[in-house]
A = this chain, B = another copy of it.
Amino acid sequence: MAKNNQLENIRHSCSHLLAMAVIRLFPKAKLGIGPAIENGFYYDFEFKKAIVEEDLKKIEKEMKKIQKEKIKFEKKEITPKEAKELFKNQPYKLELIKDLEKEGNKKISLYKSGDFIDLCKGPHVGNSSKIGPFKLLSLAGAYWKGSEKNKMLTRIYGTCFEDKKELDEYLKMLEEAKKRDHRELNKTLKLYLLSDEIGQGLPILLPNGAIIAEELEKWAKKTEEKWGYVRVLTPHIAKEELFKKTGHIPYYLESMFPSMKMEEKTNEENDIYYLKPMNCSMHNLVYKSEIRSYRDLPLRIAEYGAVYRYEKSGELHGLMRVRGPIHQNDAHIFCAEEQAEEEFGKVMELHQYYYNALGLTKEDYFLSFATRGKNNKNKFIGDEKMWKRAEKITLGFIKKSKIPYEIEEGGAVFYGPKIDFNIRTITGKVFSASTNQIDFFIPKIFGLKYIDKDGKEKTPVCIHRAPLGAHVRFIAFLAEHFAGAFPLWLSPIQVIVIPITDKQKDYAQKITGRLKEEGIRVKLESRNQTASLKIREAEIQKTPYMIIVGEKEVKAKNINIRARGGKVIGNMKLDKFISLLREKIDKKRQI
């Protein structure tokens, strides 16, 4: 939604302006829909012949022409029958009219602007000259009605503001966002690889990306060991029955990969396997593998579990939104009900520990609390009492915490309410970094028990949590947050050693060897290029430190250091530099 109604009107009218221009230039184009959206608008078309980015300029020119023609926007209402006649050459509009008719609408609302008529509820601005300054931004593929079962249309995105200054500011911000876009940064940083040969949304983490994943993982494992977690390693697949038990089938089936049918191998017809979309079912089995006593609780079972989720191809986005592998910093805490609030509180604390360590402030994240909402109870499982209890505990905690939060009606997971930690990137993108739930449902379904102090069998509560979320998403976020200049401890290459001429190669080699021994990720830049070129390249790579060695350094047995961003640190002994590095890495806070 646009920020205010006036802006929304302008943007919606601008989408009609776009459609008018397209029809003038490509009379055979078929029209989809064209709404105002946050920050702009779009319109979907089916073109006879695919258009390219270059065509946007032509369309924009035509739009400006029409804008000046002061064409009036006029509302009309006709019967469905008349509408079907009017749009007989527009199959997508026809489909929409039929949908409206099915819903019982006796009147169909239209907007006419010059020769152009669109199916539309409005409202619009008075005439085309009232549309503010605009800009077409990009082309994308989009399935009709968002379903991959339908045809893919061409979506043209644009934006429009009330005045030129606002538009320019927005475009400048987009420019900055583009530079920070992890897909753009990836071209120089080489963090990941998407390959058509593997399939859509299935990235490989290249050596640089794998180093960051490994560092995050080491850090999380060490941290959570201190916080009392034990670790397991579970399979990526399991039988259909297991996911039926947890309710993932049918409630989450849409987001799961297609099945593997063992009958291809054996005679067993009902032997069907799925890639797991979540780790919880397996951690429940770990809990259940022994008789548990109140003394064992809380039992915190953790795993960097890799899950797979089917996302529509249009929703895939670099490392931010993938199909897999989603290596989650996952865990399930099994505890007595009376421990649940305290444990949930600790989970929240743990999130804040991680975020503080990464230098994120409270401006960078907020909570959202997702409930069942009112009208879609069939999307959820479990009884009323359980939901009320879970909602009470979680909401109680949120209110106590000082983190801002939003309520998201109807966004709960099928088995319980959830609290998401949402991170806002510097360019305003918001994504869910971690999901947390108190779950009364799954322990019950699995028949989990513990023997309490009084000798009675009781059912534990399960807390789902995943601070740092998935490797891929978190790496993408960090790349954008730091504009590629990762903190020292996460930098794939921490130090680059640059000899000024060939004469210093031996000395440079010695320094490199020493740093390697100390566990520093170091690279010797020994190509026959000028030192200034090598420094420039290291800057592009956002390498935290450059050691430059010339004759002076060889004689003085020291090194000359520059930090990224052109900051000259000057000369010092290698030993001193190593201890500075170690200190920074151990603090994990410095950039």
Taking Cβ atoms with an 8 Å cutoff, the residues of A that contact B are 148-149, 190, 193, 195, 197-199, 202-207, 209-211, 213-214, 221, 230-239, 241-242, 245, 257-267, 273, 275, 282, 285-286, 289-290, 301, 306, 308, 310, 313, 324-325, 327, 471
Nearest opposing residue in chain B for A289, CB measure? B193
Given known contacts A242-B197, A245-B197, is B203 in contact with A235 (CB within 8 Å)? yes
Contacts of A324 in B (CB 8 A): 235-237
Q: State how many angstroms separate the Cβ of A266 from the closest Cβ of chain B.
A: 4
Contact check, A238 vs B197: say whether CB atoms are below 8 A apart.
yes
Q: State how many angstroms separate the Cβ of A154 from the closest Cβ of chain B.
A: 18
Complex: A415 Cα to B231 Cα, angstroms: 38
Q: State how many angstroms separate the Cβ of A313 from the closest Cβ of chain B.
A: 8
Which residue of the partner chain, among B232, B262, B265, contacts A207 with CB atoms under 8 Å?
Answer: B232
Given known contacts A210-B231, A241-B197, is B273 in contact with A204 (CB within 8 Å)? no
Complex: A202 Cα to B234 Cα, angstroms: 8
Given known contacts A204-B282, A257-B260, is B234 in contact with A306 (CB within 8 Å)? no
Given known contacts A207-B231, A236-B325, A310-B265, is B285 in contact with A195 (CB within 8 Å)? yes
Complex: A59 Cα to B492 Cα, angstroms: 67
Given known contacts A260-B258, A265-B258, is B148 in contact with A199 (CB within 8 Å)? no
Complex: A253 Cα to B557 Cα, angstroms: 61
Q: List 6 A-B contacts (CB under 8 A).
A: A193-B286, A195-B285, A195-B289, A197-B242, A202-B237, A233-B327
Nearest opposing residue in chain B for A521, CB measure? B225
Given contacts A198-B285, A204-B233, A205-B232, 17 further A-B contacts (CB under 8 A): A149-B267, A193-B285, A193-B289, A195-B289, A199-B238, A202-B235, A202-B238, A204-B235, A205-B233, A205-B234, A207-B230, A214-B221, A236-B275, A237-B308, A258-B264, A259-B264, A306-B306
Contact check, A286 vs B204: say whether CB atoms are below 8 A apart.
yes
Nearest opposing residue in chain B for A260, CB measure? B258
Contacts of A230 in B (CB 8 A): 207, 210
Contact check, A261 vs B258: say whether CB atoms are below 8 A apart.
yes
Contacts of A231 in B (CB 8 A): 207, 210-211, 214
Q: State how many angstroms separate the Cβ of A153 from the closest Cβ of chain B.
A: 15
Contacts of A195 in B (CB 8 A): 285, 289
Complex: A362 Cα to B308 Cα, angstroms: 43
Residue of A197, A257, A282 with most chain B CB atoms under a 10 A cut-off: A197
Contacts of A286 in B (CB 8 A): 193, 204, 206
Contact check, A148 vs B265: say whether CB atoms are below 8 A apart.
yes
Complex: A584 Cα to B211 Cα, angstroms: 29
Q: State how many angstroms separate the Cβ of A280 from the closest Cβ of chain B.
A: 13
Nearest opposing residue in chain B for A147, CB measure? B266
Contact check, B308 vs A199: say whether CB atoms are below 8 A apart.
no
Q: State how many angstroms separate the Cβ of A445 from the closest Cβ of chain B.
A: 12
Complex: A239 Cα to B258 Cα, angstroms: 13
Q: State how many angstroms separate the Cβ of A547 from the closest Cβ of chain B.
A: 21
Complex: A132 Cα to B267 Cα, angstroms: 41
Contact check, A236 vs B306: say whether CB atoms are below 8 A apart.
yes
Contact check, B258 vs A262: say whether CB atoms are below 8 A apart.
yes
Contact check, B282 vs A198: say whether CB atoms are below 8 A apart.
yes
Contact check, B239 vs A204: say whether CB atoms are below 8 A apart.
no
For the complex of A and B, 6 pairs with smallest distance between CB atoms: A205-B233, A148-B266, A207-B230, A258-B264, A202-B235, A258-B260
Contacts of A236 in B (CB 8 A): 236, 275, 306, 308, 324-325
Contacts of A290 in B (CB 8 A): 190
Complex: A236 Cα to B275 Cα, angstroms: 10
Given known contacts A204-B285, A210-B233, A257-B260, is B273 in contact with A242 (CB within 8 Å)? no
Which residue of the partner chain, among B198, B232, B258, contacts A206 with CB atoms under 8 Å?
Answer: B232
Complex: A280 Cα to B308 Cα, angstroms: 21
Complex: A273 Cα to B308 Cα, angstroms: 13
